[in-house]
Structure 1
Amino acid sequence: MSNRWVLSEYDVTSPYQQPAPFLKAAKQHGLSVTHTRLFGGRRDGVELLTVQNGEFSFTAIPTRGMGIHQAKYGTTRIGWDSPVEGPVHPQFVPLSEPSGLGWLDGMDELIVRCGLESNGAPEFDAESGRLKYGLHGRIANQPTEDVVVEVSPDGEMCISGEIRETRFLCYNVAMKTEIRTKTGENGFRIRDSIINRAAQESTAQMLYHINMGAPILGEGASVVCPVTELCPRNDHAANDVDTWSTYKGPTAGYVEQVYFMQLAADANGDTCTLLKSASGEQGVSVHFNVKQLPYFIIWKNTAAEADGYVTGLEPSTNFPNPRSFEEKNDRVLRIAPGATYEIDLGLQFHPDAASVAAIEKKIAGLTEGKDAKVHTTPQSTWCS
């Protein structure tokens, strides 16, 4: 097809040259994509795909599980400042470090996937004490295979590829991904298809760690969610459960607070959440389906800017507890041999007060006439 750019078909003498028909198709719809490779330090070898769609742009990272490094609307950054200063090449992320926290060595994306074999807190073998599952899994630190960029006749650009999480005799699951944006859209949409390539049933988990900081996050910013049930993850979070939806400014020594919840949705299962600035003049909404992602997590980490001032809006197939706890409470996906589990996720930027108010009204409509059940203490079946 003339509107396709197949990155795996590079001529090694000119690896970044886009086919002329593809360039023409993109330009016709006011779209463009730039491929770059970083050199030096822990970024060395990281490949990026930056899509420009009018005022809106975003950068995907094929080297890191096709996560989204950052997005922008004009000069407004949608993302956060991590002390990690990535994107870090996976070769420098020690996933098997004995602490189980090596995953954090690479964390600085706007959207990073957690999964597939596990997606929660580290878990250790009870007898030997050895690490069984590291923090947030391996998928974000796997390379993307068979990357293709294409433009449809109606002006939609799609980046696609496949990320494989396989280990001989242990695990054989892959994830096909598509990231789409259409001419004039201030955002993008993701479809991930988790495929069991094994000859027997396999399990999986998925969590989308969507991380945002300044300028949208700031003192007085708030998150708007159509909550049906909510509980704090631990006693520390329970201390501030009454203010779970509002944010402080950067606070040195702040200890993270996490809230688990389930959300209301429309008749099709579609729902959304919103992070809005203190003024209400800007916001970012996250769209997903509760039949695919039935749980939602708010991660508040309003530490000093130098330590990573950030909040996470996290749709998930489960809560991010140790995997065995989630399996005990029947919160793991069970995928038949050759079967696929599909997930749809969208992120949209709202550049003015009117668009923020419109999405806030939509969210309010999902819970109209319903009262949320807010627990003031952690719940034994939700929190490990």
Structure 2
Amino acid sequence: MSNRWILSEYDVESPFQQPAQFLKTAKEHGLSVTHTRMFGGRRDGVELLTVQNGDFSFTTIPTRGMGIHQAKYGETRIGWNSPIEGPVHPQFVPLSDPSGLGWLDGMDELIVRCGLESNGAPEFDAETGRLKYGLHGRIANQPTEDVVVDVSDAGEMCISGEVRESRFLCYNVALKTEIRTKAGENGFRIRDQIVNRSAQPSMAQMLYHINMGAPILGEGASVVCPATEICPRTDVAAAGIENWSTYDAPTTGYQEQVFFFQLAADEAGQTCALLKNAAGDQGVSVHFNIQQLPYFIVWKNTAAEADGYVTGLEPATNFPNPRSFEEKHGRVLQLAPGQTYEIDLGLQFHPDAASVAAIEEKIAGLTKGTEAKVHTSPQANWCS
């Protein structure tokens, strides 16, 4: 008997049947996982895996690069209300749109990976004007291969799979991913491995677009992070630099503001950032290692609810500028043939004032009272 559920082994006569021992072990620890296939409209064919872990749950999307669609704690949603109303099947996302912005047709998730060949703003060929790299890359709109769900005797559930970004004669890099949660944990942890499958050297980028809206985001909500250096990406962001950490109520016509950061960390490179509500009694923290993800971005888009009231906390291997700009400044991963680059990321929900205060204290301890260097205008080596 196995504690493993291999989704790729299904056939039409026995779909979605979880092994008995898998079900038994999961139930013993208060864990469960549900498989859903959506029908109709732009969602048609999208597959979801929803993990229930006590009061906490989250849904991942194998059809869309194993992104996280949303999470919940009780009745509190962790995610946002995108006007896209997805999840959208990749077949309806025009990544090759000449504008370079086709990626936005599918933007709906709590966590969406940006990469692998590129992860920033669109880039066009200087001579022909043709699109070279679309916004945020292709990995979020690739299907996941070899999806497996494991549950250990110790009560940890793991969803794993591989997402391949490949084009004959052009690019051959894969993302091997594991998403883990322990019984009673109000969150999950991601272990990603970027693998160069080619016999030749290759390059890669990765950015985790972690998007949150109401009810945690609202007027008076704030970001807490151990910043050592802060830079506005544009003149619009520069105008809001004094209030970069706090949020307004939904505002019709709001122009997005983006801020670039470098963060302090402990001796092992571990750091975290927090979004907390105005009352300080609920929050979500993002945990990562600056040796793997050395850059951090805050995206503020407090537009009207109908237009997508949202903020992004975004750890990354680089800043989300056009790839050639990042390559010029040494912020692109260089992968030897067969080389693997590992990334660890965690998301935790804080359901009360005490847990919010505890993570704030941890963040404060990383800077040891040192003030961040704040740039009042975009910097030439950070902003394209």
Q: Specify the TM-score bucket, using the shorter chain as the normaliser.
A: over 0.9
Structure 1: where are the runs of 5+ without partners? Answer: none
Structure 2 Cα separation of the partners of residues 326 and 154 of structure 1? 43
Q: Over residues 138-189 of structure 1, what are the superposed CA-to-partner deviations in whole Å (9 max), with x where a residue is unaligned?
A: 0000000000000011100000000000000000000100000000000000
2:226 aligns with: 226
Is 1:130 paired with 2:145?
no
Residue 191 of structure 1 aligns to a residue whose secondary structure is strand
SS in 2 for 1:35: strand
Task: Report deviation, 1:11.
Answer: 2.7
The alpha carbon displacement at 1:15 in A equals: 1.1
Corresponding residue of 1:84:
84
Q: Distance in 2 between matches of 1:61 and 1:267?
A: 34
Superposition pairs for residues 79-228 of structure 1, below 5 Å? 79-228=79-228
CA distance in 2, matches of 1:323, 1:213: 29
In 1: Cα distance, 2:371 partner to 2:101 partner = 38
Distance in 2, Cα, partners of 1:322 & 1:335:
19
Question: How far is the alpha carbon of 1:117 from its aligned partner?
Answer: 0.1
Matches within 5 A, 1:56-95: 56-95=56-95
Inter-partner Cα distance in structure 2 for 1:196 and 1:79: 32
Deviations 1:9-34 (A, max 9, x none): 00311211111111011001110000
- Structure 1 residue matching 2:185: 3-state secondary structure: coil
- Distance across 2 between alignment mates of 1:13 and 1:21: 21
Q: How far apart are the structure 1 equivalents of 2:134 and 2:300?
A: 21
Aligned equivalents of 2:15, 2:60: Cα separation in 1: 18
Letter in 1 for 2:303: A
Render the CA deviation track for 1:62-87: whole Å, top value 9, x for unaligned: 00000000000000000000000000
Partners of 2:321 and 2:315 lie apart in 1 by 14
Work out the CA distance in 1 between the residues paired with 2:237 and 2:187.
31
Separation in 2, partners of 1:294, 1:372: 16
| CA positional deviation for 1:122 | 0.2
Name 1:258's counterpart in structure 2.
258
Counterpart of 1:288 in structure 2: which amino acid? F
TM-score where L is the length of structure 1: 1.00
* Deviation digits for residues 213-243 of structure 1 (CA, Å, limit 9, x no counterpart): 0000000000001000010001110001000
- Post-superposition offset of 1:372: 0.7
Matches of residues 350-361 of structure 1 in structure 2 within 5 Å?
A: 350-361=350-361
Q: Deviations over 1:192-215 (max 9, x none)?
A: 000001111110000000000000
Please give the secondary structure, in 2, of the residue aligned with 1:113: strand
SS of the equivalent of 1:103 reads: helix
The one-letter amino acid of 2:147's match is V
Deviation at 1:56, TM superposition (A): 0.0
Mapped to 2, the partners of 1:290 and 1:271 lie a distance apart of: 7
Structure 2 residues without counterparts, runs of 5 or longer: none
2:354 partner SS: helix
Deviations along 1:100-156, one digit per CA (max 9) or x if unpaired, are 000000000000000000000000000100000000000000000000000011100
Once residues 61 and 146 of structure 1 are traced to their aligned partners in structure 2, the CA distance between those partners, rounded to angstroms, is 13
* Paired position in structure 2 for 1:368: 368
Report SS of the residue matched to 1:248.
Answer: coil
Residue 327 of structure 1 aligns with which residue?
Answer: 327
TM-score norm. by structure 2 comes to 1.00
- Paired residues, what number? 384
Q: For residue 274 of structure 1, what is the aligned residue in structure 2?
A: 274
- Compute the displacement of 1:97 (Å): 0.2
- CA–CA distance in 2 between the matches of 1:165 and 1:289? 24
Counterpart AA for 2:275: L
What CA deviation, in whole Å up to 9, does each residue of 1:305-338 have, x standing for no partner?
0000000000000000000000000000001111
Cα separation, 1, equivalents of 2:236 and 2:291? 30
C-alpha separation in 1, matches of 2:369 and 2:214 = 34
Q: Counterpart of 2:300 in 1: which secondary structure?
A: strand
